[in-house]
Amino acid sequence: MSTLKLFVHNHSSKGDQSFLKTITFAITHFTVAFTVAYLLTGDILIGSLIAMVEPAINTVAYFFHEKIWARHQRNTTANAMNLRQNTL
Protein backbone atom coordinates (compact mmCIF):
# COMPACT_ATOMS: atom_id res chain seq x y z
CA MET A 1 0.00 0.00 0.00
CA SER A 2 2.89 2.36 0.74
CA THR A 3 4.13 1.89 -2.84
CA LEU A 4 0.74 2.99 -4.16
CA LYS A 5 0.77 6.04 -1.87
CA LEU A 6 4.26 6.92 -3.07
CA PHE A 7 3.22 6.49 -6.71
CA VAL A 8 0.10 8.61 -6.26
CA HIS A 9 2.07 11.25 -4.36
CA ASN A 10 4.76 11.43 -7.06
CA HIS A 11 2.20 11.74 -9.84
CA SER A 12 -0.22 14.15 -8.24
CA SER A 13 1.50 17.43 -9.03
CA LYS A 14 -0.68 20.24 -10.33
CA GLY A 15 0.32 19.68 -13.95
CA ASP A 16 0.14 15.87 -14.04
CA GLN A 17 -3.31 14.41 -13.65
CA SER A 18 -2.59 11.34 -15.79
CA PHE A 19 -2.75 8.83 -12.92
CA LEU A 20 -6.07 10.21 -11.68
CA LYS A 21 -7.39 10.26 -15.24
CA THR A 22 -6.32 6.63 -15.71
CA ILE A 23 -8.10 5.55 -12.53
CA THR A 24 -11.31 7.42 -13.35
CA PHE A 25 -11.28 6.02 -16.89
CA ALA A 26 -10.82 2.47 -15.56
CA ILE A 27 -13.76 2.93 -13.18
CA THR A 28 -15.89 4.37 -15.98
CA HIS A 29 -14.91 1.56 -18.37
CA PHE A 30 -15.70 -1.13 -15.78
CA THR A 31 -19.05 0.50 -14.95
CA VAL A 32 -20.11 0.76 -18.59
CA ALA A 33 -18.99 -2.80 -19.40
CA PHE A 34 -20.79 -4.20 -16.34
CA THR A 35 -23.97 -2.23 -17.02
CA VAL A 36 -24.19 -3.27 -20.67
CA ALA A 37 -23.44 -6.93 -19.90
CA TYR A 38 -25.91 -6.98 -17.01
CA LEU A 39 -28.65 -5.36 -19.09
CA LEU A 40 -28.09 -7.84 -21.91
CA THR A 41 -27.92 -10.96 -19.71
CA GLY A 42 -29.74 -10.07 -16.50
CA ASP A 43 -27.00 -11.90 -14.59
CA ILE A 44 -24.73 -10.09 -12.11
CA LEU A 45 -22.04 -12.80 -12.28
CA ILE A 46 -21.84 -12.74 -16.07
CA GLY A 47 -21.91 -8.95 -16.03
CA SER A 48 -19.01 -8.90 -13.59
CA LEU A 49 -16.97 -11.45 -15.54
CA ILE A 50 -17.44 -9.60 -18.80
CA ALA A 51 -16.59 -6.31 -17.11
CA MET A 52 -13.28 -7.80 -15.93
CA VAL A 53 -12.34 -9.80 -19.04
CA GLU A 54 -13.26 -7.24 -21.70
CA PRO A 55 -10.79 -4.53 -20.56
CA ALA A 56 -7.99 -7.11 -20.46
CA ILE A 57 -8.70 -8.21 -24.02
CA ASN A 58 -9.13 -4.59 -25.08
CA THR A 59 -5.70 -3.77 -23.62
CA VAL A 60 -4.03 -6.48 -25.71
CA ALA A 61 -5.91 -5.33 -28.82
CA TYR A 62 -4.81 -1.75 -28.13
CA PHE A 63 -1.16 -2.86 -27.90
CA PHE A 64 -1.33 -4.39 -31.40
CA HIS A 65 -3.30 -1.41 -32.70
CA GLU A 66 -0.49 0.89 -31.54
CA LYS A 67 2.14 -1.30 -33.26
CA ILE A 68 0.19 -1.26 -36.54
CA TRP A 69 -0.44 2.48 -36.25
CA ALA A 70 3.25 3.21 -35.62
CA ARG A 71 4.21 1.15 -38.69
CA HIS A 72 1.65 3.07 -40.75
CA GLN A 73 3.04 6.40 -39.51
CA ARG A 74 6.61 5.35 -40.37
CA ASN A 75 5.54 4.24 -43.86
CA THR A 76 3.60 7.46 -44.43
CA THR A 77 6.57 9.56 -43.34
CA ALA A 78 8.99 7.54 -45.48
CA ASN A 79 6.71 7.83 -48.52
CA ALA A 80 6.42 11.59 -48.06
CA MET A 81 10.19 11.93 -47.79
CA ASN A 82 10.71 9.81 -50.92
CA LEU A 83 8.16 11.87 -52.82
CA ARG A 84 9.87 15.09 -51.74
CA GLN A 85 13.29 13.78 -52.81
CA ASN A 86 11.95 12.66 -56.19
CA THR A 87 10.43 16.07 -56.92
CA LEU A 88 13.62 18.00 -56.13
User: What's the 3-state SS for the chain?
Assistant: CHHHHHHHHHCCCCCCCHHHHHHHHHHHHHHHHHHHHHHHHCCHHHHHHHHHHHHHHHHHHHHHHHHHHHHHHHHHHHHHHHHHHHHC
Q: What is the mean pLDDT of the chain?
A: 84
At 40, the pLDDT band (50, 70, 90 cuts) reads: very high
Query: What's the structural domain count of the chain?
Result: 1
Mean pLDDT of 26-38: 93
Domain range for 45 is 2-87
Q: Does the structure show a pLDDT above 90 at 68?
A: yes
